[in-house]
Amino acid sequence: MKNCIFCKIVAGEIPSVKIYEDELVLAFLDIAPINYGHILVIPKEHHTSSATIPENISGRMMTIGARLGVAAKRSLDLEGFNLHLADGACAGQVVPHAHLHVIPRGVEDGFHWGWRQKKYENDAQRDGIAEKIKAKFKLAPTE
């Protein structure tokens, strides 16, 4: 897609430090890492949302992300990794070409996600939310 920074990286019009590439996905170093070795895995074809990516490609993103997480952890002498994907600006998505973050993590890296954890008001409210989500669920690529 024109004017998409990650499509330009795929096309080689913008430089990147490539870590892995195949016919479906590209993985390269994030320019502003949470920890050193922070990688982005992207579909080569343009998708703004993770939900429109065909299953073979999103499956490959997940597989490569996890394998790269292990490679980063082992090579950088760390203990774990996070896989993170932001879908939508309100969720923190800045670049509108879907991407999976692979973030190497160490016991003492000083980074915290800052989860906020709510409680459901009651069982009926909880179950109503579950039913609403199930009613809208589609297995096919969807917006």
Q: 6 vs 57, which CB is nearer to ligand AMP?
A: 6
What is the nearest approach in angstroms of Zn ion to the Cβ of residue 90? 20
Binding to Zn ion, residues 79-108 (CB under 5 A): 97
> Can 97 be counted among the known catalytic residues?
no
Binding to ligand AMP, residues 52-111 (CB under 6 A): 86, 92-95
The first and second tokens of residue 70, run together, are 């292990």
What is the nearest approach in angstroms of Zn ion to the Cβ of residue 19? 18
Sign of the dihedral defined by the CA atoms of residues 91, 95, 100, 103, in that order: negative
**Residue of 27, 21, 24, 25 whose CA lies nearest to 39:** 27
SS3 84: strand
Backbone angles phi, psi at 60, to 5 degrees: -65, -40
Binding to ligand AMP, residues 110-139 (CB under 6 A): none
Q: Following CA atoms 86, 50, 100, 3 in sequence, which dihedral angle do they give, to the nearest 10 degrees? A: -90
Question: Which entry of Zn ion, ligand AMP, none binds 95, CB below 5 to 8 A by partner kind?
Answer: ligand AMP
For 40, counting Cβ atoms within 10 Å of its Cβ (0-12 exposed, 13-18 middle, 19+ buried), the class is: buried
What is the nearest approach in angstroms of ligand AMP to the Cβ of residue 31? 4
Question: Which entry of Zn ion, ligand AMP, none binds 97, CB below 5 to 8 A by partner kind?
Answer: Zn ion
Catalog residues that contact ligand AMP under the rule CB under 6 A.
5, 14, 16, 30-32, 40, 86, 92-95
